[in-house]
Amino acid sequence: MPEASASVPTSAQELDDLPLPTDLAAVKGWFHPADQVLFDWFLNRQRTRDEPGDLLELGVYLGKSAIFMGDFLRPGETFTVCDLFDSPAPDDANSQEMNRSYATLTRRAFEANYRSFHDELPAVVQAPSAGITAHVRADSCRFVHIDASHLYEHVHADIAAARRLLRRDGIVVLDDFRAEHCPGVAAATWGAVATTGLKPLCITATKFYGTWGAYDEVHGELKAFLEGRDDMWHGAEEVAGQPMIRISGGKARMPAHPVSRHASGVPGQGAAVAGAAAAGAAQAKGAAQATAGQQAPGKPGRRNGDNRRPKGRGLVSFLSRRS
């Protein structure tokens, strides 16, 4: 995805001044409609077929695609996200300490965004993606989304990790594989196709979808699905002996989104939107074990036509109330 440092909050006050997201479109990030359609199709297909496995995202930024993926998590499964957030790459000892104790501003923004749509956080690994195999079991995942470093060596390692972590017929998605500012992603992606048996199912303007598992059935079903839509052009291109599908989805109709607890008209969310005034930069608590806490009632802070909160009632405050 494009460099985004300019839009990352740089102080607790800036973070708390950000509006709570009333819908997925309000979450900053890059997740195009065509890719939303494909994520929805692949994840719904796995759900319909009752295919077991966990979910993994490498590189989350503020959580737009992670929030979408979280809607497909089933009981007994684990969703793991891995990101440095806005921290410098630490050494191993510091990485362990940081992951336990020191949540950065971007991580806190991610957590507040995610909890705006889901009751529980995914398992958060705040560390370089190179170490993800220490946190996720081999052969445990059914869907892996890679959107982390753009450097060839890192993407090459992320693809190798995905191959190890995916179940036999799992799906891997790579972002920015054709962006002009990310030649390392392209080299690593097509290198994996040429040398590791990664089979390309389809590509969009920004993402590559592939599998190391069974190909013909999922490819045929995807082709039939696209033929039934009038909002997404598709064509075939033989690559490495496989009939990869090229997709143009500039007019794609977006699928249903997770519903924000801050959306107007969501039952029972008045107190959650208002809440008690919180301690702005209070320490954000942890990752997968964190659960939504009790919420004290308060006076609604919504202004007509504006989802921005009064001071003390933004992203930081919301996360503090739910930690």
pLDDT tens readout for residues 64-110: 999 999 999 999 999 999 999 877 765 554 455 445 434 567 899 99
C-beta separation of 24 from 67 below 8 A: yes
CA distance 150 to 176: 8
Burial class, 121, CB count within 10 angstroms (exposed 0-12 / middle 13-18 / buried 19+): buried
Provide the whole-model pTM.
Answer: 0.78
pLDDT at res. 140: 98
Torsional sign, CA 75, 256, 300, 12: positive
| CATH, domain range 26-84+128-248 | 3.40.50.150
pLDDT at res. 287: 35
Q: Give every residue of the chain whose pLDDT is below 50, as ranges.
A: 1-7, 93-94, 97-98, 100-102, 268-312
Burial class, 90, CB count within 10 angstroms (exposed 0-12 / middle 13-18 / buried 19+): middle
Counting Cα atoms < 13 Å in the Cβ hemisphere of 239 gives 22
pLDDT at res. 293: 36
